[in-house]
Amino acid sequence: MPEAAKTLASRRVLVTGAAGFIGSRLCSRLLEAGTEVHGVSRRRHEADGVHWWKADLAEYPAADHVMAEVRPDVVFHLAGEVSGVRDVAMIRPTVRNTLLSTVNLLTSACWLGSPRMILAGSASEPGPDGVPASPYAAAKAASSMYARTFHACYGLPVTNLRLSMVYGPGQEDYDKLIPYVTRSLLRGDVPRLSSGVHEFDWVYVDDVLGAFISAAAAADLAGHTLDVGSGELVSVRSIVERIGRLTGRTAQPQFGAVPDRQREDSLLADVRRTREVLGWQAQTPLEDGLAKTVEWHRERHADVAPR
């Protein structure tokens, strides 16, 4: 067991968004370390060993209630509206479910003796001109600003981890590139994609779990904002071509079938600073991570014959 995980063995931990892709795997990793794990989500869920709470954290009485009942030593805040859609209709739900839930938790934490707070930020927060490119990016940027305010003004020990493009087994959001392309090819369907020219920093989910646990265990990390990524940019086209080789399917994706998103920026994680401050760096090569991901989807959809 990694040393960082051992330090959390005697702690009481709250994971928000615990039913999600990253949150569910984080709960499992913490349970393996012997941590008392409490999970919260807006939908009813069950997980072996996890004390479960169903609550809408955007409602401040609900956030206060969960925090007061659990009284956590550490909070991993992953809940929020995860869609990167640019449509104006996404602004209100993103402000509510991402920004408001964060502010509610930070406020509750101040009233409860200031537990350690680890926030799941996003690499999409900044832009070259300082203007976020989507409602999601804007809500994450505002959440990050509030986190810095709570640390500077109220002494809350909060750390913001700006996640790059997280992928891996267990990701079933088929609006995301890797799950969508993998399932499509395994089914024999033709993925309809953008131009594929944009580049992103892709980071394997198990490496991200290590960053969260290391941040919770580290001393003197309060107030920091750190990037969590691989430190390498890889294009969408390259990712799709690699998945094609791993699935062994011959269907040719239709690049350019859907328009590119406006203001799509290539954001490379500052891995050197994260390594210096946190002592963490990604360990999983992209080819290995994609192979594990494709195998998970292959087993998941074993009953779906190619069309």
Q: What are the pLDDT digits (tens) for 68-86?
A: 999 999 999 999 988 767 7
What is the SS3 assignment for 47? coil
CB atoms near residue 253 (< 10 Å): 21
Both ends of the chain: CA-CA distance in Å? 44
Q: Are strands 254-255 and 192-193 parallel, antiparallel or unpaired?
A: parallel
Going from N- to C-terminal start, the domains of the chain cover 7-163
Q: With 80 as the cut, is the pLDDT of residue 303 above it?
A: no
Q: Closest Cα to residue 66, out of 77, 55, 58?
A: 55
pTM as predicted: 0.93
Mean pLDDT over all residues of the chain? Answer: 91
pLDDT at 149: 96
The CATH homologous superfamily to which domain 7-163 belongs is: NAD(P)-binding Rossmann-like Domain (3.40.50.720)
pLDDT at 219: 83
